Each structure stands twice: as structure tokens, then as C-alpha cells.
């Protein structure tokens, strides 16, 4: 019996060869929003992993939308040119489809890189800036408060998402994933804890969803026929916050507007969140979205074992498993999973001689496709 993990599945117009996707992971290694040779190394080696899809890290649609001053952006010709160089190198050696996560960090922008503590940087510092959000409510009481976006500000953010989607299309990127999770700008609109607006963008669920849905529509039309997916937090894990029921309603609204898939993560919005971290801890959230929609759904979060991943897609809790830390730690995880299940996986010609003695039929080469 073939492992479901290694069966193909379509996401919109794109056929993916298996159910393992690489989750977006910020590298904090860009210069002024421009990718560097670190990205060639990082994305290049993940592109040889045998996963079905490689997702480029949270990529800011505006400079103020970067989490840190070292984040990747796609808001200028310079950013686009730098990304083109990286993609050309990666694509020369891998045909793995590539997604990009388009993002705006909202009130969680202007932070330091994690290995320097990740604290908020004040606007007066050369590496900091004034943050913007739905309401002037800071993430933590001791933070500089964001400025509430006015109508012009909303239009600028929406247009920036559309522009970055158009740049992504020009770069030949296969999938755009809109970042509406982890307490960043679009999630801040969704959650009543961060959205205190009194206009048509705040209050009821319909109003809180309005701006994220407008951004979706703008990206959808800028990215033409190609798949557009959305990453959501399934819950804030905090009293009075965004819930799984609201997530399901949001997913249905997205589906009705032509969304091609939902990637279900959680948390990140409330500094006092209580997250029940453990293996597969976010899978029940993915399951709830999957049960209520017909779109492909990805589950993520502490999925580390082959049988665990197979159980998630095999039982239909989700269609895809997304790996982040797991695949950084072991970039050949999909090869090992294929060996475990006795199926074939793609490997580059240069590495064919690494096929283990006990797995004589593990590798398919690019020419066999």
C-alpha cells in the first residue's frame, strides 16, 4: 500500500508531487529587504530535499511591514532583482515549485533579530521605525504603540500586497501565500484583541474580516491564474481572542472568493497566550477547517515523525503536512520518509551515489520524470 504522504495532489492549477511542504521560515539575513547569498544556500539546499513545495519566508510588502531590519522584502526593483538572482540559482538545480509568503508585520514590526533577543526597536533608533496596525494597541504594554491605519493607509497596504503579488508573478513564483497568522497585520484585523476599530473594519466578524478579504481579492487578481493560499492562526489561545469557529468562517469566505488552500497555524497575537505545545498540537485546528471547506488544507507544528505525518494525511485531518524546524534539522527528511515507506523520491544526479545499500530503488532522477 502506497503511503498517502507520497501521493500527488493539486493546489489550484498546480500539481504537487507529494504531501510534504516546507513552511515559510524567516532567515533575518537580507540587506535592505534584498535577499543575499545566504538565501541561495538556504533555499538551495531545501530545494534538494524531495519535498513538494518550498515556501519563501515572510516577505514584506512594505519596508515598515518587515519584522526586523534584516527581513526579506518585495517592495522595490532592488528587492525583485536580488530575489531573481537567488531563484535563478535555485531553479538551475531544482524543479521544486516555489511559493512565497507575502506579509506585513503590523504592530510586531521594528523588532530586533531573534539571536539578538528580538525586542522591539524604537522609531528613534536607526534600525527601528513607527509601526502601523488596525488600532493603536501595542503587542505589549511596554512597547511603542502602533499608529492606526487610516483609509489611505489601508489602501497603501492593500496595493502593496497586490504589487508584491505582481512582482512574484514576474519572478515566476508558483504560489502566493498571504500571511494572515501569528499576530501580524492581517491577523491583527481579525482578532478583537488587536482590532478596536469603530469603522466598518472593526467590531463584528464580518467587519474584522473585511480588510484581510480585500487584500485577498487584490492579490488574487494580481496573481492571475496561479494558486493563492492563506496562512491563518486557528486560535489566539487567549480569552476574548480569535477562535476556531471564526477561523472556519474566514476560510469559507476565502473559499467563496477563489482561495486555493489554507495553511492552519495558531497563536502569535496575544503576549499572554497559553499554547498547549506538543506533537501535532495544531492538527485539530486544521481538521476543523478541512471539515468545513473543500480547499486543500495544510497542518503544521511539531510534525516530526514519518508515521505521524502519514497519519495526518492518511486519516484526512489535512491534505498536506508543513515542516519548519523538522526540515531545518534534517533537510533530507523527505528522503528518509520515502525510504521508511518504501517509495521513490527525487534526488539530484550529483547525489545519486548516496543511495543507501538497503534502499536500492529509492531515488528517481530528474530525467525519469
CB of 53 to ligand FMN, least distance (A): 13
Position 72 contacts ligand FMN (CB under 6 A): no
Handedness of CA 39, 178, 278, 303 (dihedral sign): negative
Give residues 87-106 in contact with ligand FMN (rule: CB under 6 A): 101
Looking up cell 520515502 gives 338
Position 268 contacts ligand FMN (CB under 6 A): no
Which of 28, 69, 75, 184 is the catalytic position? 184
| Nearest Cα to Cα of residue 132 among 120, 147, 151 | 147
Position 331 contacts ligand FMN (CB under 6 A): no
Q: For ligand FMN, which residue of 41, 292, 324, 343 counts as binding (CB under 6 A)?
A: 324
Question: Terminal CA-to-CA distance of the chain, rounded, Å?
Answer: 22
Alpha helices by DSSP H, listed for the chain, are 37-46, 77-93, 151-170, 185-190, 205-222, 244-256, 283-292, 306-314, 325-329, 333-341
Give residues 204-263 in contact with ligand FMN (rule: CB under 6 A): 231
Q: Which three cell numbers stand for residue 275?
A: 499554547
Cα-based distances in Å from 60 to 73, 163, 217, 223: 4, 11, 18, 17
Position 181 contacts ligand FMN (CB under 6 A): yes
User: Among the candidate windows 175-183, 203-211, 234-242, 284-292, which touches ligand FMN by CB under 6 A?
Assistant: 175-183
27 vs 293, beta carbon nearer ligand FMN: 27
The single-letter DSSP state of residue 146 is P
Position 334 contacts ligand FMN (CB under 6 A): no
Give residues 297-316 in contact with ligand FMN (rule: CB under 6 A): 300-303
**Hey, which residues does 229 pair with through a beta bridge?**
177, 261
| Nearest Cα to Cα of residue 299 among 310, 3, 273 | 310
Catalytic, 201? Answer: no
Q: For ligand FMN, which residue of 20, 57, 83, 254 counts as binding (CB under 6 A)?
A: 57
Q: For ligand FMN, which residue of 39, 42, 167, 179 counts as binding (CB under 6 A)?
A: 179
Give residues 4-43 in contact with ligand FMN (rule: CB under 6 A): 23-26
Interface residues toward ligand FMN, by CB under 6 A: 23-26, 57-58, 101, 179, 181-182, 231, 265, 300-303, 323-326
Residues assigned a catalytic role? 184
Amino acid at each position: 500500500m502506497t503511503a498517502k504522504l507520497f501521493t500527488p495532489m493539486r493546489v489550484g492549477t498546480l500539481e504537487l508531487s507529494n504531501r510534504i511542504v516546507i513552511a515559510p521560515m524567516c532567515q533575518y539575513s537580507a540587506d535592505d529587504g534584498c535577499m543575499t547569498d545566504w538565501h541561495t544556500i538556504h533555499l538551495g539546499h531545501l530545494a534538494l530535499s524531495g519535498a513538494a513545495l518550498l515556501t519563501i519566508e515572510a516577505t514584506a510588502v512594505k519596508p515598515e511591514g518587515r519584522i526586523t531590519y534584516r527581513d526579506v522584502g518585495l517592495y522595490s526593483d532592488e528587492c525583485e532583482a536580488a530575489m531573481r538572482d537567488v531563484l535563478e540559482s535555485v531553479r538551475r538545480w531544482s524543479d521544486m515549485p516555489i511559493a512565497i509568503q507575502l506579509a506585513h508585520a503590523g504592530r510586531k514590526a521594528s523588532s530586533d533579530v531573534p539571536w539578538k533577543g528580538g525586542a522591539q526597536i524604537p522609531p528613534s533608533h536607526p534600525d527601528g521605525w513607527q509601526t502601523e496596525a488596525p488600532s493603536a494597541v501595542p503587542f505589549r504594554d511596554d512597547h511603542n504603540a502602533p499608529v492606526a491605519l487610516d483609509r489611505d493607509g489601508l489602501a497603501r497596504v492593500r496595493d502593496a500586497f497586490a504589487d508584491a503579488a505582481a512582482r512574484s508573478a514576474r519572478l515566476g513564483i508558483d504560489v502566493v501565500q498571504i500571511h494572515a497568522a501569528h499576530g501580524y497585520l492581517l491577523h491583527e484585523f481579525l482578532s478583537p484583541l488587536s482590532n478596536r476599530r469603530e469603522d466598518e473594519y472593526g467590531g463584528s466578524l464580518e467587519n474584522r474580516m473585511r480588510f484581510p478579504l480585500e487584500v485577498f481579492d487584490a492579490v488574487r487578481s494580481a496573481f492571475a491564474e496561479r494558486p493563492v493560499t492563506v496562512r491563518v492562526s486557528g486560535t489566539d489561545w487567549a480569552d476574548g481572542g480569535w477562535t476556531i469557529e471564526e477561523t472556519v468562517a474566514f476560510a469559507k469566505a476565502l473559499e467563496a472568493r477563489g482561495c486555493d488552500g489554507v495553511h492552519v497555524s495558531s497563536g502569535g497575537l496575544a503576549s499572554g497566550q497559553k499554547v498547549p505545545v506538543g506533537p501535532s498540537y495544531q492538527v485539530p485546528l486544521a481538521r476543523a477547517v478541512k471539515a468545513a471547506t473543500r480547499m486543500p488544507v495544510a497542518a503544521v507544528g511539531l510534525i516530526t515523525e514519518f508515521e505521524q505525518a502519514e497519519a495526518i494525511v492518511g486519516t484526512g485531518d489535512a491534505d498536506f503536512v508543513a515542516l519548519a524546524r523538522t526540515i531545518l534539522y534534517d533537510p533530507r527528511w523527505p528522503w528518509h520518509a520515502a525510504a521508511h515507506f518504501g517509495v521513490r523520491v527525487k534526488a539530484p544526479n550529483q547525489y545519486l551515489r548516496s543511495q543507501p545499500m538497503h534502499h536500492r530503488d529509492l531515488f528517481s532522477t530528474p530525467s525519469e520524470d
